[in-house]
A = this chain, B = another copy of it.
Amino acid sequence: MKSELDALMAKRGLDALIIWIDEIYSPPLDYLTNGAHITQGLLVKKQGAAPILYVSPMETEEAAKSGLEVNAYHNAELYEFYKTLPISKAHAARWVQILAACGIESGTVGVYGTGDFAYIIGRISELREAQPNINFMGEPDMSRGLFKEAYETKDADELMRMKSVAARTDQALEATWNYIAAHHVEDGRVVDDAGSPLTIGDVKRFVRRTLLDYDLEDTGMIFAQGRDAGFPHSRGEADTELKPGQSIVFDLFPQEIGGGYFHDVTRTWSLGYATPEVEEAYRQVMEAYDLSVEMVRAGMPAKDVQIAVMDYFEANGHATLRSHPGTQEGYVHSLGHGLGLNIHEAPGMSHVSPDTLRTGNVISIEPGLYYPDKGFGVRVEDTCYIGEDGQAAPLTGFRKDLVLPLKG
């Protein structure tokens, strides 16, 4: 939680943290600035103090929406640096000056933000050279970064926003279901009243527009049919025509417009009817889903739930990543993951995850079975919250019907 930030800094021996502000969406920046749209500058947070922003004079108004102290960095001084130093070193000198203005001239400073790797690797070298008394550091343990740890449990405000995203995603799913259900089958193809075939491109366009009606945006949905549905990350080809009786994996992970909280939900639909093979796989995936949601308890190792699902699938004759590492058939991925301002956060729910489930987690639970060579895949996913009672409660409310009936 946000309230733990100082403790998380202390744990890492950080006297301060900085967020290097670049023009791409940055979850840690959003986390600390209420989503103010700032595209260049520096955020400085000292241990025990509120963050301070240094931004371009053009962005002071936007930055003020953060509610934080905002300073314009002065181009005049920057241009002085430019006169005597190459551009990269001038920027490093400017940041060192800003840190000094914040009273940071030595100690350990964590560097955060989101952007171009080559750029930050180069800049860190220059910062270290420009201010050798500060130890500029990244995250030593990739599974347990400072923000990752903070994100891992949501506070009441965050939960409220995520519940709203969930409810709006439900409505987009309902609209999509109804849109497809208004089609019928003609010569083995799914067509509209005018006889035009419905394609994956049509459905995705409909979904994207519908999400906008709810102030959400698509971030790369999967809508994959048949063999494509057998590959968990195949997104589906726009010109593929929908066919009755094929499994469709529809994985939707929209985000608040302009960056913000995610929701993550998957439904498997089969238009008109389902084959016995897909029905049986679906029944097993639903059993795995149900046993997972029932089993979750705060305080439990996250991997235990995945191990129970692997036990179940293996007992039913499916390969898993445990029985057949690297398998592309059977149950080929983790059970789920935390989510929030990032689509993938802690806790991880692989069978080797070191994480513990906790009250305040928002996690996806998404068992699936994949048989590309048999031409199908099945996945069912809800986003769930682990509440004060320590149990998982789905935030996703949309129904879990396999067969989506068509007109006529």
Chain A contact residues, CB within 8 Å of chain B: 20, 23-25, 37, 39, 56-62, 72, 74-76, 79, 82, 86-88, 91, 110-125, 136-143, 145-147, 205, 208-209, 212-213, 217, 220, 228, 231-235, 257-258, 321, 325-328, 332-333, 343-344, 352, 354
Of A114, A141, A328, A343, most buried by chain B (CB within 10 Å of CB) is: A114
Among the listed B24, B123, B142, B257, which residue makes an inter-chain contact with A119, where contact means beta carbons less than 8 Å apart? B142
* Residues from chain B with Cβ under 8 Å of A137 in the complex: 121-122
Rounded to whole Å, the gap between the CB of A370 and the closest CB of chain B is 9
Copies of this protein in the complex: 2
* Residues from chain B with Cβ under 8 Å of A208 in the complex: 212, 217, 257
Rounded to whole Å, the gap between the CB of A177 and the closest CB of chain B is 20
Among the listed B25, B59, B258, B332, which residue makes an inter-chain contact with A58, where contact means beta carbons less than 8 Å apart? B332
* Residues from chain B with Cβ under 8 Å of A235 in the complex: 37, 62
Q: Which 3 A-B pairs have the closest CB atoms?
A: A121-B138, A76-B325, A122-B138
B212 touches A91 (CB 8 A): no
Rounded to whole Å, the gap between the CB of A249 and the closest CB of chain B is 12
A139 touches B111 (CB 8 A): no
* Residues from chain B with Cβ under 8 Å of A82 in the complex: 352
Of A61, A72, A213, most buried by chain B (CB within 10 Å of CB) is: A61
Among the listed B91, B139, B258, which residue makes an inter-chain contact with A121, where contact means beta carbons less than 8 Å apart? B139
Q: Whose C-beta in chain B lies nearest to the C-beta of A208? A: B212
Say yes or no: A111-B119 contact (C-beta < 8 A), given A58-B232, A212-B208, A235-B62. Answer: no
Docked pose: A111 CA to B138 CA in angstroms: 16
Q: Whose C-beta in chain B lies nearest to the C-beta of A74? A: B326
* Residues from chain B with Cβ under 8 Å of A209 in the complex: 209, 212
B138 touches A118 (CB 8 A): yes
B138 touches A120 (CB 8 A): yes
B58 touches A333 (CB 8 A): yes
* Residues from chain B with Cβ under 8 Å of A91 in the complex: 142
Docked pose: A343 CA to B24 CA in angstroms: 10
